[in-house]
Amino acid sequence: MDYIQYNISCPLEMRDILVALLSEHPFDTFEEVESSLLAYIPAHAENREVKKYVEDLVPHYQFQYERTFIPAQNWNEVWESNFQPIQVGQFCGVRAVFHTPFEDVQHELIIQPKMAFGTGHHATTYQVLEMMSGLDFQDKHVLDYGCGTGILAILAAKLGALSIDAIDVDEWAYENTLENIAINHTPHIRVHQGMINQLETRCYDIILANITLNVISSSLLALYRMLPANGYLITSGFFEEDIPTLQEMATTQGFSLLSSAQKERWACALFKRV
């Protein structure tokens, strides 16, 4: 797939903010280098609206950028150069196939890289994995909404979930999740490419949504309908200052906030359907 690279010169403390803002549009890959943030968008997805959105951000966040066309390449090499293993205490660890196996975790998750690993997503993934350790997945029905590499769905399978759906709009996520399911020997995970409304008639005990704030907020009604009373929603992909806003929207929709956590300015929240 061909990409457009935005080479963004900005202060270090501004990078996470720009990642969050650009993630609201089809930018799906981010890479931090010494002097700038590299943001990638599929060439076919970069339209006039996206260009205007980026240009409108410039005066508010005081950055400069250059656009470069990047032809299809070996994203495995790009991903390998950026991704670091994730270890959540002794509970679980996430590594790529080229990393040394963990020696001291209960659950090891192995992924085959397809894309560069998003800058902000390391912290959000870590937090969701950590929060999953506090829930009982045994014999539960689980949805991984915005599955990406399928990490969360795979962990749910290893924790004993009875049935698992994983869904993402991106083709690369769909294909990568299928590949990672095979690597981790979790074949009962069902993978879907498309929108959440494809699964609106299904019911889940636990929903995992490591995605953007806009997508979460626009999906709250659908997620509410998919959960029974006392069903759980773990969500991340937003900043800690967004928690009050999300809590207000979720409470209005019928959720109760049980707990939240923060890591590197990114936040994660556990809700229960009332």
What's the pLDDT at 120? 41
CB distance 28 to 42 below 8 Å: yes
Backbone angles phi, psi at 159, to 5 degrees: -90, 5
Does residue 86 belong to any structural domain of this protein? no
Question: Is residue 18 pLDDT above 50, yes or no?
Answer: yes
Does residue 81 belong to any structural domain of this protein? no
191 strand-pairing partners? 166
Could you tell me if 146 and 231 lie in one domain?
Answer: yes
Does residue 94 belong to any structural domain of this protein? no
How far apart are the C-alpha atoms of 180 and 168, rounded to whole Å? 14
Does residue 78 belong to any structural domain of this protein? no
Could you tell me if 59 and 122 lie in one domain?
Answer: no
Could you tell me if 69 and 181 lie in one domain?
Answer: no
What's the pLDDT at 117? 45
SS3 82: helix
Query: Could you tell me what percent of the chain has a pLDDT over 90?
Result: 65
Does residue 203 belong to any structural domain of this protein? yes
In tens, the pLDDT along 99-123 reads 899 999 999 999 886 654 443 457 8
What is the band of 94 on the pLDDT scale with cuts at 50, 70, 90? very high
What is the band of 16 on the pLDDT scale with cuts at 50, 70, 90? confident
pTM as predicted: 0.78
In tens, the pLDDT along 40-68 reads 998 999 999 999 999 999 999 989 999 99
Average pLDDT over residues 130-158: 97
How far apart are the C-alpha atoms of 156 and 189, rounded to whole Å? 9
Could you tell me if 174 and 267 lie in one domain?
Answer: yes
Average pLDDT over residues 157-178: 93
Q: How many structural domains compose the chain?
A: 2
Could you tell me if 268 and 140 lie in one domain?
Answer: yes
Could you tell me if 263 and 129 lie in one domain?
Answer: yes
Could you tell me if 69 and 123 lie in one domain?
Answer: no
Average pLDDT, the chain: 90
More confident residue, 57 or 76: 57
Does residue 92 belong to any structural domain of this protein? no
Domain that holds residue 48: 3-73
Average pLDDT over residues 138-148: 96
- Cα separations in angstroms, 100 against 76, 96, 103, 152, 184: 17, 9, 9, 21, 16
192 strand-pairing partners? 167
Could you tell me if 62 and 154 lie in one domain?
Answer: no
Could you tell me if 236 and 143 lie in one domain?
Answer: yes
Label each residue of 151-174 as H, E or C.
Answer: HHHHHHHHCCCCEEEEEECCHHHH
Could you tell me if 166 and 44 lie in one domain?
Answer: no
Does residue 40 belong to any structural domain of this protein? yes
CATH number at residue 21: 3.30.70.600
Could you tell me if 140 and 211 lie in one domain?
Answer: yes
How far apart are the C-alpha atoms of 192 and 172, rounded to whole Å? 12
